[in-house]
Structure 1
Amino acid sequence: MIGRPTRRKGYVDGMVLFYGGFRAGIGGGLCQLSNLIYWMTLHTPLQVTERHRHSYDVFPDSGRTQPFGSGATCAYNYLDLQIYNPTEDIYQLSVYVSDEELIGEWRCTAQPLYRYQVYEREHRITQEAWGGYARHNVIGRKVFSREGELLDDEWITENHALMMYSPLLAQNAEDTESTEKAQAAQTAENTEKAQAAQTAENTEKATIFTG
């Protein structure tokens, strides 16, 4: 579906994941495109006929908005993302880039009949014999009718990836984020109490003065 990235087609050098590390390569970053297309497709009746998971978990979960393992890697000419349309409707893929984001959508000639919720289950991290860690999970998908009735709960895929960072690093990042949020909330609460106390004091002074 993505094809071979070449300079003639307009591709430039970008970051390529290579055995858990990084290097420059023509069309580097295309996995962001395949990730997006795969994620969008899981929210349609289209069927994924070929998809390959990432072998390495490179980035911690801090700031993650989608389940681990919900992307798709690609590498010409042996790893591709292929999608089949089993419906009688026409689908059009639209992808474009803003100043900071990659944006895409599946367009269809018919109104959607179903709503999809993609989620993870059976998530676990295991310490391997070689001293590092591996991460595992299962991606599932719930299918709802227009009225919100649960129609199906499907198995989508299973992921296994070598972690290129310590899971304690990810936990520390989450703890730091939680601490910062708690501190911000406490500061806001203290400020609100101080303002309320000052308002009450000013009101009391005004009452004494007018009396």
Structure 2
Amino acid sequence: MKRILLKRFPVLYRARVAQLRVMRRCRDLLPGTDFAEQRAMDAPFVLKRHQSLLRRRLGSSDPRLQENKVTNLRLAAARVDGICIRPGETFSFWRLIGRPTAGKGYIEGLLLSQGEVKTGVGGGLCQLANLLYWMALHTPLTVTERHHHSFDPFPDDRRTLPFGSGASVFYNYIDLRFHNPTDRTFQFRLWLTDRHLKGTVSCDREWPLCYHIEERNHRFLRQNGRNYRQNEIWRKRVDRGTGRVVGEERIIGNYAEVRYELPEGIVPEEVESVEVREVSAKLPGSGS
């Protein structure tokens, strides 16, 4: 009922967003969390490198919005590039980037809002959040806050990561946060080329483990006349010296409505109900 009211009455939605933003700012003022702010070193031991295409075919969306997204990503990446997460510190996506406004140079881009694909200033920053989250999964950093999109808006187009392995962000209460529980310092580096958003995550000392991420139990389903997509994301911890797997964990469970025509040859499995575990709740708001 709350979601329906917020969608039907925009003034209520805006008031709720404003309330959540104030609540987030107030919580962040409380003692107990040391946020990462320093860029004082170049960590020499690279744990993970990754890149993502800047321009992909996203349904029937205006290609100009892809170019606008590149502008937004360039501005936001510069605010995060070089950040060091020292022992006991917490990385916060929005505390580093700040509110993406036109006055700061951000322009219209694609974002997901209230279950729909829309446009808005600063749209497209989820691609940066996706990259940071994927790299963080290859470190011992603890993910303390991560949100996911509530639906699958576009068919796969040169997708290299498993479905549902990204992160949704919306200033400032839908954040992406990592905590450093170790005695090492970690650092993110980010840059753009003509074709890619690129990044690395490094450590100031060699870390004894590496991490392998894999998708399991992926399937398309049909329930009550609608198509859905489901999978699980697992992480294996591997000893760098011996190559032996020393542990594994299920880190994400995804179940989302598909908002596009399924590719030819994919026949969804008809189901009456689906058991979904450990899917993070989506707070009222949007995701770029």
Q: TM-score range by the shorter chain?
A: 0.7 to 0.9
Residue 78 of structure 1 corresponds to: 173
Q: Which has the higher helix share?
A: 1
Equivalent position to 1:139, from 227, 233, 237: 233
Residue 52 of structure 1 corresponds to: 147
- Once the two structures are superposed, the pairs formed by residues 96-115 of structure 1 within 5 Å of their partners are 96-115=191-210
Residue by residue over 1:146-170, the C-alpha shift from the partner in whole angstroms, topping out at 9 and shown as x without a partner, is 1210001111111111101132447
Say whether residues 1:163 and 2:258 are aligned partners: yes
1:115 to partner: Cα distance: 1.3
Q: Superposition RMSD on alpha carbons, in Å?
A: 1.9
Residue 113 of structure 2 corresponds to: 18
1:61 to partner: Cα distance: 3.0
- Once the two structures are superposed, the pairs formed by residues 1-211 of structure 1 within 5 Å of their partners are 1-3=92-94, 4-129=99-224, 131-146=225-240, 147-169=242-264, 171=266
1:68 to partner: Cα distance: 0.7
Query: Higher Cα Rg: structure 1 or 2?
Result: 1
Which amino acid counterpart does residue 184 of structure 2 have in structure 1?
D
Residue by residue over 1:7-53, the C-alpha shift from the partner in whole angstroms, topping out at 9 and shown as x without a partner, is 33332221112345432211100000000000000011111100011
Q: What TM-score does the superposition give when structure 1 sets the normalisation length?
A: 0.75
Q: What TM-score does the superposition give when structure 2 sets the normalisation length?
A: 0.56
SS at match of 1:8: helix
| CA–CA distance in structure 2, aligned partners of residues 115 and 101 of structure 1 | 24
Residue 187 of structure 1 corresponds to: none
Which amino acid counterpart does residue 22 of structure 1 have in structure 2?
V
Structure 1 runs of 4+ aligned residues shifted over 6 Å read none
Which amino acid counterpart does residue 112 of structure 2 have in structure 1?
L
If asked which structure has higher relative contact order (CA below 8 Å, sep 6+), I would say 2
With over 3 angstroms needed to count, the CA separation of the structure-2 counterparts of 1:62 and 1:28, relative to structure 1, is: closer
CA contact (8 A) 2:117 2:153 kept: no
Which amino acid counterpart does residue 259 of structure 2 have in structure 1?
M
Which amino acid counterpart does residue 137 of structure 1 have in structure 2?
N
Residue by residue over 1:113-147, the C-alpha shift from the partner in whole angstroms, topping out at 9 and shown as x without a partner, is 11111011122222121x22111111100110012
| CA–CA distance in structure 1, aligned partners of residues 250 and 148 of structure 2 | 15
Gaps of 5+ in 2: 1-91, 268-288
| CA–CA distance in structure 1, aligned partners of residues 121 and 256 of structure 2 | 25
SS at match of 2:131: helix
